[in-house]
């Protein structure tokens, strides 16, 4: 895969697919500009070469053109970070955008309106991709967060730029870091996988069994495994359809000699609420009418020991309902152990919106080796899949 370092963009109009899918508050102010900042090195390289940039992104999941999902809300942030005026293409591939793109001069930055306002984007429509492609001379993909989607701007468009397409710095960096844990991991290798559901992480768990020494399962998905092992789960989250799969994973772990670790104590609650009555449960049988919403101190000690013995650690998904302080301790402690392991020389990779949020909350974003900007995309790479957005750059 070529990266932008293989090219010079003097006098080129470069279409750059970025991931500006940032959170906005109810007054449409950007509350976290991380994703915008992570795209700046790529944008600046093109501008410094003497090229111009046409940025394209999606924002949220609009059904049609809806102002709350307009990318114009991010223009003030972008103008400040790039220290220049942004030209806005509100009709995406319409006459106005085409004229503005045609008139771009070196150093100019144009932003297209939310691509998902056009029905062709998510469908991967070839005609829409062709019309987008006509706006520029060169295609760069820097949107790792959507590289697992075969959408018009993330994959299909690449076919219109033979020999004139490349990965931006962020995308290339993401791929390098995730491939490092897939291919050049130093052992012992430990993965911590959490979050609500087994169903969304099944592929990852299966592939990780081929790679890791320790597979630690936390979060809501724990209880499907505990049910499979015959424990009582009370009102905890269980996916009955996945009990057989959980059993298969348990069996495969045994066959492959992987140490599969499940929590052994819990913070349990009498209802799913931030102010629920809670208590600490030693053991794995959740009493009737109670539910497990975080892991307990014995489990944390075990996780800490394993993390600090490991040379490679991947973490994706919270250990509890960390949005509520009462059930946030497990997730926050794991963030701290990863920071400590990193200081002691381990390679640590963290991804998934919730895990990254927990790192940020603890002020530890810079204390791990790499923070992935793409939850779903990272998971698909960990599943061993080739992402459509990356494949399209290679073809
Ligand atoms: P996911 O999107 O699958 O990564 O799941 C993230 C969500 O899992 C977060 O919103 C957590 O609140 C939730 N979660 C974590 N642990 C539990 C649990 N024990 N019971 C219910 N939900 C949980």
Residue 264 and residue 294 in one domain: yes
Is 273 a pocket residue for ligand 1 (Cβ < 6 Å)?
no
- List the 214-217 sheet strands across, edge first: 259-261, 214-217, 189-193, 312-316, 347-351, 370-371
DSSP for residue 387: P
Strands 138-141 and 165-167 turn out to be parallel
Q: Left, alpha or beta for 317 (phi > 0: left; psi -120 to 50: alpha)?
A: left
CA 353 to ligand 1: nearest atom: 4
Which residues lie across from 140 on neighbouring strands?
16, 166
296 CB within 6 A, ligand 1:
no
**Measured in angstroms, how far is the CA atom of residue 337 from the centroid of ligand 1?**
20
Q: How many independent structural domains does the chain possess?
A: 2
64 Cα: distance to centroid of ligand 1 (angstroms): 30
Count of beta carbons in the 10 Å neighbourhood of residue 206: 15
Q: Determine whether the shortest distance from the Cβ of 237 to ligand 1 is under 6 A.
A: yes
Same domain, 147 and 201: no
Residue 92 lies in a domain: yes
Q: Assess if residue 391 is contained within a domain.
A: no
104 and 197 fall within a common domain: no
Q: Note the pLDDT of residue 288.
A: 97
Task: Give the domain-ending residue among 147, 170, 193.
Answer: 170
Ligand 1 pocket, 220 CB below 6 A? yes
Has residue 111 been placed in a domain?
Answer: yes
| DSSP of 165-177 | EEE-HHHHHHHHH
Cβ count near 11 (within 10 Å): 12
Within this chain, do residues 141 and 217 fall inside the same structural domain, yes or no?
Answer: no
Where in the sequence numbering do the catalytic residues fall?
Answer: 35, 197, 353, 376
What is the value of pTM for the model shown? 0.92
> Is residue 261 in contact with ligand 1, taking CB distance under 6 Å?
no
Task: Give the residue, by CA position, lying nearest to ligand 1 atom 17.
Answer: 220
112, 138, 170 — which closes off a domain? 170
Q: Quick one: 166 and 195 in the same domain?
A: no
If asked whether residues 95 and 206 sit together in one domain, one would say no
Distance 295 CA to ligand 1 centre (A): 12
Question: What CATH number did the domain enclosing 83 receive?
Answer: 3.40.50.1260
Select from 234, 321, 324 the residue to mutate for testing ligand 1; criterion: most ligand atoms less than 8 Å from CB. Answer: 321
What's the CA gap between 46 and 104, in Å, rounded?
13
Give domain status of residue 389, yes or no.
Answer: no
Task: Looking at the chain, list the stretches that DSSP marks H as alpha helix, in order from N- to C-terminal side.
Answer: 34-49, 75-82, 95-102, 120-123, 126-133, 169-183, 202-208, 222-228, 243-256, 297-309, 329-343, 353-361, 375-382, 388-394
User: Which atom of ligand 1 approaches the CA of 293 most closely?
Assistant: 19
Taking the C-alpha atoms of residue 42 and residue 21, their distance in angstroms, rounded to an integer, is 17
Q: Which of 132, 154, 170 corresponds to the end of one domain?
A: 170
Q: Is the CB of 351 within 6 Å of ligand 1? A: no
356 lines ligand 1 (CB under 6 A): no
Is residue 156 domain-shared with residue 182, that is, in the same domain?
Answer: no
- The tokens describing 83, both together, are 């220290």
pLDDT attached to residue 138: 98
Whether residue 117 is found in the same domain as residue 196:
no
- Sorted by sequence, the CB contacts under 8 Å of residue 205 that are 6+ apart come out as 193, 198, 215, 217, 249
Q: Is residue 36 part of a domain?
A: yes
CA-proximal residue: ligand 1, atom 10 (nearest): 321
Would you say residue 47 lies in a domain? yes
pLDDT of residue 139: 98
Q: Using a 6 Å cutoff on CB, does residue 339 contact ligand 1?
A: no
Tell me what pLDDT residue 374 has: 87
In ligand 1, the atom with minimum distance to the C-alpha of 292 is 19
- Asked if 282 and 374 sit in the same domain, the reply is yes
155 and 229, same domain (yes or no): no
Under 8 Å between Cβ of 15 and 136: yes
Residue 86 backbone class (left: φ over 0; alpha: ψ -120 to 50; beta: rest): beta
Does any ligand 1 atom lie closer than 6 A to the CB of residue 326?
Answer: no
pLDDT value, residue 373: 87
- Name the residue at shortest CA distance from atom 4 of ligand 1: 195
CA of 229 to the centre of ligand 1 (A): 21
- Which residues lie across from 141 on neighbouring strands? 17, 167
User: pLDDT (tens digit, 0 to 9) for every residue of the chain, 395 residues total?
Assistant: 999 999 999 999 999 999 999 999 999 999 999 999 999 999 999 999 999 999 999 999 999 899 999 999 999 999 999 999 999 999 999 999 999 999 999 999 999 999 999 999 999 999 999 999 999 999 999 999 999 999 999 999 999 999 999 999 999 999 999 999 999 999 999 999 999 989 989 999 999 999 999 999 999 999 999 999 999 999 999 999 999 999 999 999 999 999 999 999 999 999 999 999 999 999 999 999 999 999 999 999 999 999 999 999 999 999 999 999 999 999 999 999 999 999 999 999 999 889 999 999 999 999 999 999 888 999 999 999 999 999 999 98
How confident is the model at residue 353, as a pLDDT?
Answer: 85
Same domain for 118 and 63? yes
Whether residue 188 has a cis bond before it, omega within 30° of 0: yes
Do the domain assignments include residue 394?
A: no
Using the mean position of ligand 1's atoms as its centre, give its distance from the Cα of residue 195 in Å: 4
Range of the domain at 369: 177-382
Q: Are residues 197 and 343 in the same domain?
A: yes
| Residue 390 falls inside a structural domain | no
């Amino acid at each position: 895969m070529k990266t932008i370092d293989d090219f010079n963009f003097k006098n080129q109009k470069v279409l750059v697919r970025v991931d500006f899918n940032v959170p906005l508050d109810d007054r449409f102010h950007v509350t976290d500009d991380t994703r915008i900042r992570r795209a700046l090195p790529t944008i600046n390289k093109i501008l410094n070469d003497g090229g111009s940039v046409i940025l394209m992104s999606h924002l949220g999941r609009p059904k049609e053109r809806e102002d709350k999902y307009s990318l114009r809300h991010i223009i003030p942030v972008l103008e400040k970070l790039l220290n220049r005026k942004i030209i806005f293409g509100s009709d995406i591939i319409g006459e106005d955008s085409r004229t503005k793109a045609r008139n771009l001069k070196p150093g100019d930055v144009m932003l297209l309106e939310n691509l998902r306002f056009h029905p062709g984007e998510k469908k991967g429509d070839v005609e829409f991709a062709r019309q987008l492609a006509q706006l520029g001379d060169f295609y760069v993909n820097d949107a790792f967060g959507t590289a697992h989607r075969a959408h018009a701007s993330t994959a299909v468009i690449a076919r219109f730029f033979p020999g004139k397409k490349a990965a931006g710095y962020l995308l290339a960096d993401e791929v390098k870091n995730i491939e490092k844990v897939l291919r050049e991991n130093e052992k012992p290798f430990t993965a911590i996988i959490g979050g609500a559901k087994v169903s969304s992480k099944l592929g990852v768990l299966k592939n990780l069994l081929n790679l890791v020494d320790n597979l630690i399962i936390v979060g809501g998905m724990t209880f499907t495994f505990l049910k499979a092992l015959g424990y009582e789960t009370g009102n905890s989250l269980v996916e009955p359809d996945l009990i057989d799969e959980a059993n298969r994973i348990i069996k495969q772990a045994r066959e492959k000699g992987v140490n599969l670790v499940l929590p052994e104590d819990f913070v349990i609650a009498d209802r799913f609420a931030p102010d629920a009555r809670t208590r600490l449960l030693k053991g794995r049988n959740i009493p009737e009418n109670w539910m497990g919403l975080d892991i307990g101190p014995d489990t944390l000690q075990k996780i800490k020991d394993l993390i600090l013995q490991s040379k490679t650690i991947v973490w994706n998904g919270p250990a509890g309902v960390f949005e509520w302080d009462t059930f946030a301790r497990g997730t926050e402690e794991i963030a701290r152990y990863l920071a400590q392991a990193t200081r002691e020389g381990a390679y640590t990779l963290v991804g998934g919106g919730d895990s990254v949020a927990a790192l940020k909350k603890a002020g530890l974003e810079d204390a791990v080796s790499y923070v992935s900007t793409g939850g779903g995309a990272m998971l698909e790479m960990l599943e061993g899949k080739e992402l459509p957005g990356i494949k399209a750059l290679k073809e």
